A and B are shown apart, each in its own frame.
Chain A
Amino acid sequence: MAIIEEPLALTSGEQHAERPLGVLTRPQANGSWKDWVSTVDHKKIGIMYGVAAMFFFLLGGLEALLIRTQLAFPESGFLSADVYNQIFTMHGVTMIFLFVMPFAAAFANYLIPLQIGARDVAFPRLNALSFWVWLSGAIFLNTSWIVGGGGADCGWFCYSPNSGITFSPTNGVDFYAIGLLITGIASLVSAVNLAVTCLNMRAPGMSLFRMPVLTWMLLVTQFLLAFALPVITVALLLLLFDRQFDSQFFDPEAGADPLLWQHLFWIFGHPEVYIIILPSFGIISEVIPAFSRKPIFGYSFMVFSGIAIGFMGWGVWAHHMFVSGIGPISVFAFSMATMFIAVPTGVKILNWLATMWGGKLNFSTAMLFAVGTVTMFTIGGLSGVTHSLAPADTQQTDTYYIVAHFHYVIFGGGVLGLFAGVYFWWPKVFGHLLDERRGKIHFWAMLIGFNLTFGPMHVLGLQGMSRRINTYSSGFGFEFWNLVATIGSYILGASVLYFLWNVYMSKKDAPNLPAPGPDPWDARSLEWSIPSPTPEHNFDEIPVIESQDDWWFRKYNIEDDGSVVRISSAEDAAQKGDAVGVHLPSPSFWPLVLAIGLPLIGYGLIFNLWLCVVGGLLTGGAIYAWVLEPVDDPDAGAHGHDDHHDGGDPDGELATVGAAGDDTEGEG
């Protein structure tokens, strides 16, 4: 990860002469589609994450509707048991790894640099690499439908020995393992990159405890990713070696312990829950203050409870394994830890309520989604705490009660919050608002559909309906609530399509509507101090930060008697976005080339080892080409670092040579 990128600097803006650099010239932005495939701009990468994640949201949603269609009526033959297994597995994998995580990554990429007053992330090319590698892994994973004999059929948790060749003879599980390894590389690279960005790239005066809560939560998320992913990487590799090279990690007959997989998986899997939820917590911590017209209540409590969740998230994994026979002491310890982790989460919920308390509430669409997040997550959190009671959990394990619980957490807490962010930052990203009236219809349809789908599952689970089974017999009292859930899921699906309609119509209507201006919500953080949409160079001048909510204090003053006085309009206080000659990192094709090599290695492992050679050469070649291409456009070197810094300058463009191996590292 030590790929050296030129830090961004203001330059004088002089024109530069063409300087050919052989095969390793860097592409120049010229407004064509190539700008997108070679971009290293964190904003474009963020948008691509968002669009691709939305595509996989539709795919995962389609899989969900197939599940619900099958379960609408008892003894349905719509899907065979085998296909059903594949569909619910791929639904879970797609929604978690290919929708929620990358959708949160879209926000992280786009907003972290803006919120800390930076021109880009610490390693722009690695950022592009993260996106392309994630996309190649996502596509690879889904090609198992076409060339792998069907999707993985072992559930997203893929317990052994079900995941072994004996019980899962198609290549679906191989695609699962390799696909998640590839997307894991992407997340790991991105985690290191964004963490370094938060720690190192803050504007002058932007101390850690002046960072917006969103940036804080994203920082915690990056650390969780950085430490959780290596564990799942090991688990997936062991699984892959078992399946491809006949190793003996998960074969009970040979003396192996299937619980090893469960431990490794959930040591990753529980922090993963917080990886999913913390970005959403961060988003609503920005949205709620803006629409309550109050600063966030208890900023430092918000931050520290996020950090506490980040730490405690590592000590609760075995509550997923209470019925696996881990013994009373373990069960007791993990029960206690599970109860305790509800405390920082409760702190957050109270702080959001206290932020709204006495505020001038404006229920815009973003605010509705944020409040929806708080309420739905509270339901999911409460049903979650019930799992800390091991006897109750033993009763509920593998029933629809669990399905209800984690959908309230992941959809109610995670996805609704992400949609709050979509409505909130849409004008900043695209320069026009999403229509509020349609937005509110979208919200209510989604909320109603969501509750109709997952609310009844609490009842079904407590009645004893097992999850992961393709059908149920009539006469157990399951019929009514299953039908309700299926109807709810169709409403949910329709609400997503309606959201896309809103996107389309809002874009179409935008030219006839007044521009939103830099700060349509009268908000508090730095990204609102620059024009909408964000100029390519972000900030004309890097702001100097003097307090928390610095941008708000450029618009308002608090008088001695405590009253708030407007001192400047947002338009006057905002930067104009007209700086010229700002030096930005040049685009590069090599992240894309490297990313194409990885799935080839994956196909090679499954089908023909020669493909591995091709993929390996492509990846290795791309790493060296990456290292050898000039760190920046040629003119930058002319008046860049060497002129200003004598000896000891670490960023000479060829200083990158030694970094070559690091990306190969990521494969390990």
Chain B
Amino acid sequence: MATATAPATDTHHDAHDPHATNTGISNNKLAMWLFLSTECLLFGALISTYLIYKTRGSGEVLPTDLFDIPFTSVSSFVLLMSSLTMVLALSAFGRNDLDRGKAWLLVTAMLGAVFMGGQAYEFTAFYEEGLGYTTNPAASAFYTLTGFHGAHVSIGIIMLMSLWVAANQGKLTGKNSETVEIVGLYWHFVDLVWIFIFTVIYLIPPE
């Protein structure tokens, strides 16, 4: 139908096939990719803000004084492992192995929850050591950045639990494993951002 000069992705496009897209990527997945690319800018701005402010405290306590690297390493490891279980969940749904899929979803959500627990503990400990949200610009920037990341993890947990409920109701099966994949994209992204934050914020010592 289309002339030979049209790119291959277009020539096989059939107007009567509602699922064909020009790029070959489904609309939902492409939208998630685009959305995640905008999130890069969101976290980029927050991370930059922290980096500018990390020593702005005029003699008071700074976040860098309080970092507990071993503790945060453990919670980072937990979050990193949740990416593995997310992949296992997707793989199980891809094979239509719903029981395993559900189990891995649950494990992923729980690992995320453990990470959130770690963040809650960290915030509490920092607060008790005198670093409140309003203490100084460095503190505001630290809590805002990590708090935003925590909010993203929490939303991810809600999404995972929604998938789990839907799978239990029989509404999520191997046929729509792409939904699991899309939530997985989000989850991996949030993980990746944390790896970046952990490296740049926690591991690199202040000058």
Interface of A toward B, CB cutoff 8 Å = 1-10, 122-123, 188, 191-193, 195-196, 199-207, 226-231, 233-235, 237-238, 241, 245-249, 251, 254-257, 260, 264, 267, 541-542, 544-547, 627, 640-641, 645, 647-652, 654-662, 664-665, 668
Contact = CB atoms under 8 A, between A and B. Distances in A.
B69 interface: no
Interface residues of B, number: 75
A164 B140 CA distance: 16
Contact of A255 (B16, B40, B56): B56
Contact of B25 (A6, A123, A200): A200
Contact of B158 (A247, A248, A541, A660): A660
A652 B49 contact: no
A657 B179 contact: yes
Nearest to B9: A207
B35 A9 contact: no
A5 B27 contact: yes
A193 B45 contact: no
A247 B144 CA distance: 9
B46 interface: yes
A25 to B, nearest CB: 18
Given A230-B38, A650-B28, A238 B144 contact: yes
Interface in B122-163: 133-137, 139-141, 144, 148, 151-152, 155-156, 158-160, 162-163
Contact of A4 (B30, B44, B53, B179): B179
Given A230-B41, A645-B19, A668-B148, A249 B49 contact: yes
Given A650-B179, A664-B158, 13 more contacts: A2-B182, A191-B34, A195-B34, A230-B44, A230-B45, A231-B45, A247-B144, A254-B136, A255-B137, A641-B18, A641-B19, A651-B19, A657-B166
A657 B174 contact: no
Nearest to A546: B3
Contacts of B204: none
Contacts of B135: 248
B128 to A, nearest CB: 19
Given A204-B11, A660-B159, A9 B16 contact: yes
A256 B38 contact: no
A226 B45 contact: no
Contacts of A668: 42, 148, 151-152
A659 B140 contact: no
7 contacts: A2-B183, A5-B27, A226-B38, A233-B42, A254-B58, A641-B19, A655-B172
B49 A260 contact: yes
A173 to B, nearest CB: 18
Contacts of A246: 133-134
A9 B165 CA distance: 30
Contacts of B1: 204-205, 544
A545 B2 contact: yes
Contact of A203 (B15, B27, B140): B15
Contacts of A656: 179
Interface of B: 1-3, 6-7, 10-11, 13-16, 18-19, 21-23, 25-32, 34-35, 37-42, 44-46, 49, 52-53, 56-58, 96, 133-137, 139-141, 144, 148, 151-152, 155-156, 158-160, 162-163, 165-166, 171-176, 178-180, 182-183, 186
Contact of B152 (A2, A6, A545, A665): A665
Contact of A248 (B21, B96, B136, B186): B136
Most buried by B among A251, A641, A659: A659
B3 A202 contact: no
Nearest to A226: B38
Given A192-B35, A654-B176, A227 B15 contact: no
A529 to B, nearest CB: 15
Contacts of A547: 3
Given A206-B10, A254-B58, A658-B183, A196 B15 contact: no
B171 A654 contact: yes
B34 A247 contact: no
Contacts of B52: 257, 260
A660 B162 contact: yes
Nearest to B134: A246
A664 B38 contact: no
B22 A202 contact: yes
B163 A647 contact: no
Nearest to A5: B27
A1 B159 CA distance: 12
Q: What 6 A-B pairs are tightest by C-beta distance, nearest first?
A: A655-B176, A205-B2, A650-B178, A247-B140, A230-B42, A654-B171
Contacts of A231: 41-42, 44-45
Contacts of B178: 650, 655
Contacts of A661: 155-156, 158-159, 162, 186
A431 B160 CA distance: 48
Given A204-B15, A234-B45, A658 B163 contact: yes
Contacts of B165: 657
Nearest to B145: A234
A226 B172 contact: no
A120 to B, nearest CB: 11
B29 A647 contact: no
B101 to A, nearest CB: 12
Given A254-B58, A255-B136, A649 B175 contact: yes
A111 to B, nearest CB: 18
A632 B38 CA distance: 29
B4 to A, nearest CB: 10
Contacts of A202: 10, 13, 22
A122 to B, nearest CB: 4
B13 A204 contact: yes
Contacts of B21: 200-201
A613 to B, nearest CB: 17
A658 B30 contact: no
A202 to B, nearest CB: 5
Most buried by A among B14, B30, B41: B41
A649 B19 contact: yes
B30 A657 contact: no
Nearest to A202: B22
Contacts of A651: 18-19, 26, 176
A3 B183 CA distance: 11
Contacts of A649: 19, 175-176
A410 to B, nearest CB: 24
A229 B42 CA distance: 8
Nearest to B56: A255
A201 B46 CA distance: 34
A18 to B, nearest CB: 23
Given A7-B18, A9-B18, A226-B34, A256 B28 contact: no
B34 to A, nearest CB: 5
Contacts of B40: 230
Most buried by A among B13, B22, B49, B57: B22
B147 to A, nearest CB: 10
Contacts of B133: 245-247
B22 A249 contact: no
A406 to B, nearest CB: 24
